[in-house]
Structure 1
Amino acid sequence: MQILQRQIFTELFKLFGLTVSCLLGLILVGRMLQLRSLFLSQDIGFFNILQLFFYLTPFFLLLITPIATMLSVFLTFLRMSTDNELTALKASGVSLYRMLPAPLLFCTLCTLFTLFISVWGLSWGMDMFKTKLYQFARTHSKFALQPGVFNKEFPGITFYAHQVDNEKGELKFAFVRDESIKGTSVVVVAPEAQIKSTPATAKIKITFKNGNIFRQSGDELNILKFGSYAITLDLGKLLGGFNFSEDKAKDMPLSRLSAIRKDHSKAPDRGERFYRKVDTEFFKRISLPVGCLILGIFAIPIACTFRGLKQQYGLLLSMGLFFVYYTMFSVGVSMGESGAIPPEYGLWAPNILFVFVALVGMRYANKERTPTLVHWFMHLRFHKRASA
């Protein structure tokens, strides 16, 4: 039995690694194209984008670990069933229940891994992603002004300086034209200016000294003199409107989500929809890790029921079953955020349904019986083949 459990666990682990690698690879290709188009006008290279993707990995792992767990268990037991290994083991007196320790241990480890990502890894990854994104925008972007060159990286705003010291943030003979307001043009001219950045909010503050403001609206022109005048720019506009300062529920650690649920004063003035998102995100972070265990156990009787199915068809079948689970889960998230139903009902409903099917299916699989619905489906398929 120890050899059997070790072999099952090894096969599960190998399939899990292969599945996670393939899914992450597919996501990587799509995200690389998206991030590359985002930084198309910036001096940010391939390895910088790869680093950003690494910090997004916890977010992707939280979503793909449940399906990777299910696929690993399903394909392992489908292969054992197709190769008649399950039949040989049962003929030797080994029931299906005695084969469960290895998949149960595997699913439990996947659940703990996903829970770790949910509690700590996700918020860490998103914080690091924002930090690195800010650093790249601040140090690698073309907003590092060049002397004597007009800079138009910010939408509707043109910068110019005759002399530039990017290390000290000092500008000489600076010029800024703002056409972001429709029908109005504002030009600021000053002999000197100072650039200061605020990493916490990803803002750039440019302070002009002893200059003039020319404001034109239609045929009207106003000229103002000033001793000191400052404008504040958001680096997120360099990155397709990315908001650095926005505090989203999906980026928060589980501990903060729990604190806000108990006391709304922890996040004041955010509105009822935000608090519903916090509730939904909290239950999402708990139910997804548990889903690894449930989907893994659910895959065992399904694989035994559809014995003889080719692996490519088995892969499509398992993906289809997971699609049902994820559709129910997504509907629960949407209804929870909209307030249609309490989020705990919508997010725990798929787990409750699938654990019920898993327990009933396990009982049938151990007795080598086929549920009536599956038997009817197989009979209908055979009847169509015979009539053809």
Structure 2
Amino acid sequence: MKLLHREIFKELLKLFGLTVTCLLGLILIGRMLQLRSLFLSQNIGFFNILQLFFFLTPFFLLLVTPISTMLSVFLTFLRMSTDNELTALKANGVSLYKMLPAPVIFCTLCTLFTFGISFWGLSWGMDMFKTKLYHFARTHSKFALQPGVFNKEFPGLTFYAHQVDNEKGELKFAFVRDESVKGTSVVIVAPKAQIVSNPENAEVKLIFKKGKIYRQNNDELNILRFGTYSVKLDLGKLLGGFNFSEQKAKDMPFFRLREIRNDPSKAPYQTPRFHRKVDTEYFKRLTLPLGCIILGMFAIPIAYVFRGLKQQYGLLLSMGLFLVYYSMFSVGVSMGESGSIPPVYGLWAPNFLYIFVAVLGAKFANEERTFPLVEWIAHLRSKWVKVAS
């Protein structure tokens, strides 16, 4: 039995690694194609892009791990069923229940791994993603002014400096034209300026010293002298409108979500919609990792019921069953955020449904019985074949 459990566990690990790698690769390629215009418009290198996607990996793993667990268990037991290994083991007195330790341990490890991502990895990845994105926008993007070149990356703003020291952030003979307000043109000219960064809010300030402001409104022209004047820039506008300062529930660590639920006054935004999002995200972080062990146990009787099915069709079948699960889960998230139903009901419903089917299916599979629904579908299929012939 130890040898049997060890071999099943090895096959589960191999399939899990292959599935996670393929799904992550597809997701990352899709994201790169989606953001290609952003990367092409900025001077962000390929290695920097890989760094950004590495920090997004925890977010993707939270979604990918449950389906990878289900696929690994399903394909392993489907192969054993197709190769008559399950029949041979049954003939030697090894019931389905005696084969469960290996998949149970495997699914438990996947669940613990996903809980780690859900509680800590997700918020760490999003924090690092924002930090790196700000750093790249500050140092590698086209915002790094070139001497004698007009910069128009920010909508409605034009920057120019005769001399530029990007390392010290010093500008000489600086010029800024602001046309962000319709019907008004503001020109700021100063012999010296300083670039000051604020990483916490992902903002950059241009501080002009001892210059003039020319403000034209229709036919009226005003000229003002100043000692110090600053222009605040939002680096998010360089990156397709990315908002660095916004605090989202999905980016928060689990303990922070729990803290806000216990004391709503600690929320950064005191709106009903934000509190609903916090509640929904809280239960999402709990229920989605549990989907690993639930879907894994669900896959065993399903693989037994559809024994003899080719692996390519088994892959499509398992993907379809996961799509049903994830669709129910997504509906629960949407309804929880909109306030249609409490998130605790909408997000736990798919898990309870699949637990019921898994327990019932394991009983039928151990007794070598099939679901009545499967027999009914097979009966309809045979009648259809007779009618067609």
User: What is the TM-score when the length of structure 1 is the normalising length?
Assistant: 0.98
Q: Which amino acid aligns with 2:265?
A: S
After superposition, give the CA deviation of every residue in 1:9-45 in whole Å (9 maximum; x if it has no partner).
1111100000000000101111122333212221111
Residue matched to 1:253: 253
CA contact (8 A) 1:35 1:49 kept: no
Deviation at residue 52 of structure 1 after TM alignment: 0.5
Match of 2:193 in 1: 193
In structure 1, the residue matched to 2:145 is: 145
- 3-state DSSP class of the match of 2:171? strand
Residue 311 of structure 1: aligned partner: 311
Q: Which residue pairs with 1:350 in the alignment?
A: 350
Q: CA deviation at 1:247?
A: 1.0
CA contact (8 A) 2:171 2:194 kept: yes
Greater shift in the superposed pair: 98-107 or 135-144: 135-144
Q: CA deviation at 1:264?
A: 1.3
Amino acid at match of 1:93: G
Give me the whole-angstrom Cα distance separating, in 2, the residues matched to 1:270 and 1:290: 30
| Structure 1 segment 55-74 matched on structure 2, within 5 A | 55-74=55-74
Q: Is the 8 A contact 1:82 1:307 kept in 2?
A: yes
**Shift, 1:288, TM fit:** 0.5
Report whether the alignment pairs 1:223 with 2:238: no
* Match of residue 162 from structure 1: 162
Query: What is the CA–CA distance in structure 2 between the aligned matches of 1:66 and 1:222, rounded to whole Å?
Result: 64
**Who is 2:244 aligned against?**
244
Secondary structure in 1 matching 2:30:
helix
Deviation at 1:331, TM superposition (A): 0.4
Q: Bigger shift: 252-261 or 183-192?
A: 183-192
Residue pair 1:331, 1:346 contacting (<8 A) in 2 also: yes
Distance 1:386 1:219 in 2: 87
State the Cα distance separating 1:136 from its structure 2 match. Answer: 0.6
Q: Which amino acid aligns with 1:133?
A: L
Residue 15 of structure 2 is aligned to residue 30 of structure 1: no
CA distance in 1, matches of 2:68, 2:303: 15
Deviations 1:287-306 (A, max 9, x none): 00111000000000001001
Q: Is the 8 A contact 2:247 2:268 kept in 1?
A: no
Distance 1:149 1:211 in 2: 20
Residue 382 (structure 1) shift: 2.3
User: For residues 15 and 172 of structure 1, what CA distance do their matches in structure 2 show?
Assistant: 60
> Which residue is 1:278 aligned to?
278
What is the deviation of 1:165?
Answer: 1.6
Shift of 1:163: 1.3
- Structure 2: which amino acid aligns with 1:213? I
User: Which residue type is aligned with residue 223 of structure 1?
Assistant: I
State the SS of the aligned residue for 2:340: coil
Q: Distance in 2 between matches of 1:34 and 1:227?
A: 45
Residue by residue, what CA displacement relative to the aligned partner does 1:166-205 show, whole Å, maximum 9, x if unpaired? Answer: 1221111110011122222111111111110011111101
RMSD: 1.0
1:4 match: secondary structure: helix
Amino acid at match of 2:279: D
Alignment partners' CA distance in 2, 1:311 and 1:184: 67
- State the alpha-carbon separation in 2 of the partners of residues 141 and 252 from structure 1: 27
- Residue of structure 1 equivalent to 2:324: 324
Partner of 1:296: 296
Q: Deviations over 1:129-184 (max 9, x none)?
A: 01111111111112111111111111111000111121221111110011122222
Provide the rounded CA distance (Å) in 2 between the counterparts of 1:183 and 1:299: 65
Q: Percent identity?
A: 78
Residue in structure 2 matched with residue 105 of structure 1 by the alignment: 105
* 1:219 to partner: Cα distance: 2.6
Work out whether residues 161 and 174 of structure 2, in 8 Å CA contact, stay in contact via their aligned partners in 1: yes
- 3-state SS of 2:40 partner: coil
Equivalent-residue separation in structure 2 for 1:228 and 1:241 (angstroms): 29
Moved more, 158-167 or 221-230: 221-230
Q: SS of the residue aligned with 1:39?
A: helix
- Which consecutive residues of structure 2, in runs of 5 or more, have no partner in the other structure? none
What is the alpha-carbon distance in structure 1 between the residues aligned to residue 176 and residue 189 of structure 2? 7
Q: CA shift at 1:356, angstroms?
A: 0.4
- Which shifted more, 289-298 or 224-233? 224-233
Kept after mapping to 2: 8 A contact 1:36/1:49? no
2:386 corresponds to: 386
Output the CA distance in 2 between the equivalents of 1:381 and 1:219: 82
Query: Residue 78 of structure 1 contacts residue 311 of structure 1 at CA under 8 Å; is this kept in 2?
Result: yes
Distance in 2, Cα, partners of 1:104 & 1:291: 13
Cα shift at 1:220 = 2.6
**CA-CA distance at 1:268 after TM superposition:** 4.5
Per the TM alignment, residue 272 of structure 1 is displaced from its structure 2 partner at its CA by 1.1
Report the alpha carbon displacement of residue 226 of structure 1 after superposing the two structures with TM: 1.5
Partner in structure 2 of residue 211 of structure 1: 211
Structure 1 alignment gaps of length 5 or more: none
**Does the 8 Å contact 1:174/1:192 carry over to 2?**
yes
In structure 2, C-alpha distance between the alignment counterparts of 1:222 and 1:47, rounded to whole Å = 49
The separation in 1 between residues aligned to 2:269 and 2:346, in whole angstroms, is: 26
1:120 correspondence with 2:159: no
3-state DSSP class of the match of 2:98? helix
Structure 1 residue 217, shift from structure 2 partner: 2.4
- Residues 163-182 of structure 1: matches in 2 within 5 Å? 163-182=163-182
Report the equivalent of 2:81.
81
Match of 1:338 in 2: 338
